[in-house]
C-alpha cells in the first residue's frame, strides 16, 4: 500500500527485511555491510577523540609482569613472548624515516597484504636507532652517522608468526621475540630522538646503582598517536 511504501520516497538506499522459512526476519546482506561500515566509522571517530587525551581505547598491549620498581618511573618487567612486524631504514638527512616506516607497517595491518586482512592495531610502536652513541654523562652526545632505524608493530596475541598474512611490501619482516626481562622508564612529552637519548641515559645511570645490569641495546616505546596532547602521552625507553 502507499502507506507501507513510504521508504520509496527517500533518496537513500533502503535494505528490506523479509520473513524467513520459520517465520522470523532475515536481513538483506547489505544491511550487515552497512552496519559494519557505520560501526567502523564511529569506532575510528571515538578512537581519534579519546586518543587526543592519551587513552588507547581497545588497543592490545604486550603482556608483562612487574618484578621490581626503582623509584616512581622505572620498572623491571618480565615480558611474555611476542610476534612483531618490522621495517628497517637508513636515516637520511632529506627523509623522515619514522614517517616512512610507520606508513609501511600501518598499511600492512590495514589490509596491504595478500589476504587483504585487517589486523587489529596494538600499542606501543617500538623504535630502535642503531649507530647512536649515548654518553653516560650530560650533555647527551648524538652520533648522526650511519644511523639505522627499526620500527616494530607488535601483532595481536591471537596471531602466531605462521598465521600472519604475507605482506605486499617485501621490506616488512616478522620476528618472534622470546620472553625477556627489561628495565622500562616511563615519561611523557616529546618523542624526539634527543629526548629519547636523554631518557635512555637517565635509565642507564639509574641501573648502574642497582642490581640490574643491561644486556642488550636500548629501544623506545611510543603508545600514542602524534595528535595526543604531549603531556598526556605515554612514552618509554626500554633496556633488556
Could you read off the pLDDT tens digit of each residue along the chain, which spans 240 residues?
Answer: 444 444 344 443 434 444 554 444 455 556 666 666 666 565 555 455 545 544 555 688 999 999 999 999 999 999 999 999 999 988 877 678 888 999 999 999 999 999 899 898 889 999 998 865 444 443 333 333 458 899 999 999 999 999 999 999 999 999 999 999 999 999 999 999 899 999 999 999 999 999 999 999 899 999 988 888 888 899 999 999
Contacts with 207 (C-beta within 8 Å, 6 or more apart), sequence order: 70, 183, 213, 214, 239
How do beta strands 17-19 and 25-27 pair? antiparallel
| Residue 86: predicted pLDDT | 93
Please name every residue paired with 128 in a beta bridge, in sequence order, or none if there are none: 150
| Residue 145: predicted pLDDT | 42
What b-and-e string marks burial along 173-211, b requiring 16 or more CB atoms within 10 Å of the CB? Answer: ebeeeeebebbbbebeeebebebbbbbbbbbbebbeeee
Determine the Cα–Cα distance for residues 135 and 198; give it in Å rounded to an integer: 9
pTM for the full predicted model: 0.74
Residue 46 burial (CB count, 10 A)? 13
Determine the Cα–Cα distance for residues 157 and 179; give it in Å rounded to an integer: 14
Query: Hey, what's the cell of 20?
Result: 524467513
Contact by Cβ (8 Å): 155, 173: no
Contact by Cβ (8 Å): 161, 176: yes
> How distant, in Å, are the alpha carbons of 77, 107, 122, 176, 178 from that of 165?
30, 13, 17, 15, 21
Amino acid at each position: 500500500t502507499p502507506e507501507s511504501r513510504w521508504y520509496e520516497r527517500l533518496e537513500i538506499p533502503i535494505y528490506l527485511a523479509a520473513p524467513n522459512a520459520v517465520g522470523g526476519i532475515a536481513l538483506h546482506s547489505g544491511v550487515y555491510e552497512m552496519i559494519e561500515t557505520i560501526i567502523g566509522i564511529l569506532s575510528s571517530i571515538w578512537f581519534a577523540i579519546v586518543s587526543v587525551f592519551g587513552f588507547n581505547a581497545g588497543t592490545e598491549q604486550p603482556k608483562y609482569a612487574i618484578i621490581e620498581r626503582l623509584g616512581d618511573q622505572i620498572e623491571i618487567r618480565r615480558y611474555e613472548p611476542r610476534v612483531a612486524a618490522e621495517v628497517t631504514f637508513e636515516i637520511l638527512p632529506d627523509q623522515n624515516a619514522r614517517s616512512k616506516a610507520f606508513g609501511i607497517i600501518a598499511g600492512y595491518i590495514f589490509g596491504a597484504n595478500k589476504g587483504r586482512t585487517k589486523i587489529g592495531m596494538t600499542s606501543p610502536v617500538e623504535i630502535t636507532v642503531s649507530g647512536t652513541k649515548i654518553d653516560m654523562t650530560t650533555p647527551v652526545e648524538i652520533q648522526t652517522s650511519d644511523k639505522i632505524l627499526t620500527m616494530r608493530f607488535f601483532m595481536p596475541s591471537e596471531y602466531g608468526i605462521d598465521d600472519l598474512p604475507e605482506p605486499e611490501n617485501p621490506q616488512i619482516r616478522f620476528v618472534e621475540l622470546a620472553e625477556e626481562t627489561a628495565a622500562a622508564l616511563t615519561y611523557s612529552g616529546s618523542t624526539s630522538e634527543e629526548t629519547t637519548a636523554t631518557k635512555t641515559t637517565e635509565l642507564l645511570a639509574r641501573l648502574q646503582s642497582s642490581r640490574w645490569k643491561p644486556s642488550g641495546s636500548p629501544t623506545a616505546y611510543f603508545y600514542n598517536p602524534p595528535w595526543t596532547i604531549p603531556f598526556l602521552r605515554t612514552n618509554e625507553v626500554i633496556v633488556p
